[in-house]
Each structure stands twice: as C-alpha cells, then as structure tokens.
Chain A
C-alpha cells in the first residue's frame, strides 16, 4: 500500500485537529486493522519522513493494531481468524462477514498545552 500518501493524509487531519484544539501536535494515535492493507512499520517510516515538511518535527505516531473479527449472521458466532482467512462459520457452516479489522482511522491526538511550553516572555514569571 502507498503508505506515504496515507501518512500525509494523517498529518493533514491531525494538524488541522490540533489547530482547532489550539495547541501544537504532540502525538497521533492511529487504529489500523490487520486487514486494512497498510503496513504499520512502513506507515511509521513514512510519518517520520514527512512530519518535518508538515511542520510538526517532534510529533510521534502510535499505531494500535486491530485484529480481524468475523461474525456469522446466521447463528451469531464470532471468530478471530489467525493466519489464513476462512469465512465459513465453524458452528453452522454459513457464510461469515468481517466486522472489524479493515479500518484505517485517526483515533486520537495529543496536543501540548500552554503549561507544557512555559509562560510567555512578557508576563511575570509564576515561579519564585
């Protein structure tokens, strides 16, 4: 998958959200399904390569991996396929549907607030 383009989209959305929150972007939390098509390592590499250009050279990326989960609409069983994907229900043999594990989502961001950055220069210092 073209992780560079994906990383750029993440940086765009995260920096916009940080601007709305009124603080510089510190961390981006991304939820990546195991079947999203995106490779976490490649994504991290691309994120680090692009963050300077995006204006957030110190921002960090945290990737939370989401396993594939399948549901049988017939009998309600759920499975977490490991390795190979086989979507016939082990209980009743009906076709199963994937209900989780394909997502590619910006879950949360952390922004530095003003206490982290110290008081502005023209205000009297709070510290003794």
Chain B
C-alpha cells in the first residue's frame, strides 16, 4: 500500500474559478457584493429600495440566484439596474455560475455588482464567488439566535444587515440582543439595523457601500500610478 499526501481543498476547482472572477472584477473596476440570507429575510427588497439611490452615483448590476422563476430579476430591473437571473437546482451559487452570468449579462462592466445568492444560511458560506464583500442579511422576525446557530455564515461576513426593525414592537426580542448575537460570532462585522419598509437605517447602509467603492477606486488608482 502506498500513501500519497494530497492536501487539496475539496472545493479547489471553485476556489480557482473564484480567484479568476476576483481578478476580472479588479481589472474592470467592479465592486462585487455577495448578498446572502435565509429565504424571505428581504434581500431583493433591500436591492429594490437602495438601487434607485445607488444608481444616481454608480452603474449597478445584479446577478440573481433562485431555484425557479425570474421574479427577483424582474423586480430589480424596474429600478433601472441591469439584472440577470440564474435558475439552478443547487442550494448555493458557485463561481462558475457567476462567471457565466457575468459574461452573458454585462457588455459594460457594472461599478457595483450585487450577487443575490440562493436563500440559505448554510451552503453559500462555503462557496467563494470571487466577491469583494460578503454581506449577510437577517431579519428581526428570525430571532436573536440566528447568528449563533449559523456561525460560519455570520463569522465570514464583512457586514450584517438586520432587516425589519419596524417589527420590533411585535416581537419579544430587543435590538440590543440581536446586535450582540452578531458580535459574539462576528465581532468585526459592520452591523446595519434597517427597515426596508420604512426606510429607517438604509442611509447608513448606502454610505457603507459608497465608502467601499471609494476605497476600491483609490486602490486601483494607486496601483495604476505605481505601475508607471
């Protein structure tokens, strides 16, 4: 019997494609955001409510992922953003699907690209899509134990949007508890309590996105100067 060390990630192919996506986005000035949540937390609504403002300043694109229908792509298209719908039987998007969708949808590179993942708090956490920012959304109605039950998803997120704060008076959970439970598993994530329904808190979320885009542009400009 001969033993051979392999030491290879199971998802090596996806990781390689994700690296290619990341390089492509960097080269084209695309800031890609992987938006994840359980089904029904409000990912598409967040996009519907914030794209009109974002589009005043940036060319925006959306890649939508669902098992069936193009309902979500239709909804975001109404904001004027270019949107492409992926329909898949898998429980998560992967780097190959994102690249195929990007190549099919965007003749002109979007400056801000949202990738709305399949509604699922488990599997998307394992699949690098080549994004620059990972954002997890969860809602007041889901309760304060969500982050602690799905630590991988929340720990690996750069930002957490806590939606439906307008429902707080109708639940037994306090805002502090919700924010604290995010902090326990993801101390460094930026947390944005919002209500897509009332508009509360969306300004801070938009500002965070604008800051990330400004930082990316600065990095690209610095790299371009160094290259000469």
Say yes or no: B10 contacts A95, CB within 8 Å. no
Query: Please, which residue of chain B has its CB at the minimum distance from the CB of A30?
Result: B10
Q: Chain A's nearest CB lies how many Å from the CB of B4?
A: 5
> In which size bucket is the chain A interface?
35 or more
The A-B contact count (CB < 8 A) is: 93
**Among A1, A30, A87, A110, contact of B126 (Cβ-Cβ < 8 Å):** A1
Closest to B185 in A: A85
Among A26, A37, A102, A106, contact of B8 (Cβ-Cβ < 8 Å): A106
The smallest beta-carbon distance between A80 and chain B, in angstroms, is 14
CA distance A110 to B2 in the complex (A): 5
Q: Known: A85-B155, A96-B187, A103-B9. Is A110-B125 also a contact (CB below 8 A)? A: no
Q: A86 touching B1 by the CB < 8 A rule?
A: no
A31–B126 CA distance with the chains assembled, in angstroms: 15
Give chain B residues whose Cβ lies under 8 Å from the Cβ of A107. 5-7
Query: In the complex, are the beta carbons of A2 and B90 less than 8 A apart?
Result: yes
Question: Residue A79 at the B interface, CB < 8 A?
Answer: no
Q: Is the CB of B187 within 8 A of A95?
A: yes
Within B1-48, which residues are at the interface with A (CB < 8 Å)?
Answer: 1-13
A residues in contact with B186, CB < 8 Å: 87
Interface of B is mostly: mixed
B187 neighbours in A (Cβ, 8 Å): 87-88, 94-96
Interface string of A97-119 (1 = CB under 8 A from B): 01000111111111111001000
* Interchain CB contact under 8 A, B4 and A116: no
Task: Determine whether the beta carbon of B2 is less than 8 Å from that of A37.
Answer: no
Q: Tell whether B59 is near chain A: CB-to-CB under 8 Å.
A: no
Q: Which of these, A6, A109, A110, contacts B10 with CB under 8 Å?
A: A6
B contact residues around A26 at 8 Å (CB): 1
Find chain A residues with CB under 8 A from B177 CB. none
Inter-chain pairs besides A1-B123, A21-B2, A107-B7, 10 sampled, C-beta below 8 Å = A9-B11, A13-B10, A23-B2, A37-B126, A85-B155, A85-B184, A87-B187, A88-B187, A106-B9, A108-B6
Task: Give the B-binding residues of A (Cβ under 8 A).
Answer: 1-2, 5-6, 9-10, 13-14, 17, 21, 23, 26, 30, 35-37, 84-88, 94-96, 98, 102-113, 116
Q: What are 27 pairs between A and B in contact, CB < 8 Å?
A: A2-B123, A13-B6, A13-B8, A13-B12, A14-B6, A17-B4, A17-B6, A26-B1, A30-B10, A36-B126, A37-B152, A84-B148, A84-B184, A85-B151, A85-B184, A87-B155, A95-B188, A103-B9, A104-B10, A105-B8, A105-B10, A106-B6, A108-B5, A108-B6, A109-B3, A110-B1, A111-B1
Top-6 shortest CB links A-B? A95-B187, A85-B151, A104-B10, A106-B6, A86-B184, A106-B8
